[in-house]
Amino acid sequence: MKSMDDYKRQQILQSTSYKMLERIAIYMDTYHLDPIIGLIPGIGDLISAILAIPFIYYSLFTLKSIPLTLAIINNILLDICLGLIPMWIGDFIDIFNLSFKRNIQLILGYINDDPIIIRRIRKKVILLFITMIILGILIIFMLRLTVVFIQWIIKFL
């Protein structure tokens, strides 16, 4: 990665898009809107995933870092997978997961050329890719399980 000069770094940190990411992270994790929205079966996790799209876009197109983007996607998929655990257990776990905060910390570390974060992201890029595939499969399985569970409940109503 090329080191950013201070002017470009300040420009990025003061940009409207970066401030939007910060606000999303604050609302979703500090004010715990992520687990609250997750209480809406199916739709809550979809809303959470949609609100995570700007993080992917920012890391891929503004910062132009594929390893960073993979780390962010991994956090998002883990958040979705945890949120799909039924009986509100996933929503309870989501209180402690804080994926939006982790994503903004990764982006900030990348912008500030934090060697620890950059090294951690680059070192784990293969593992992140494999984890993304596994989480994707788990999400599909959990969605199917959720549909079966809802059909089972409806049968008894």
Cβ atoms 49, 40 nearer than 8 A? no
Is the entire prediction scored with pTM above 0.85?
no
pLDDT of residue 1: 46
pLDDT of residue 123: 82
Q: Structure tokens of 136?
A: 């994707």
Between CA 123 and CA 63 the distance in angstroms is: 18
Where is average pLDDT lowest: 26-35, 58-67, 129-138?
A: 129-138
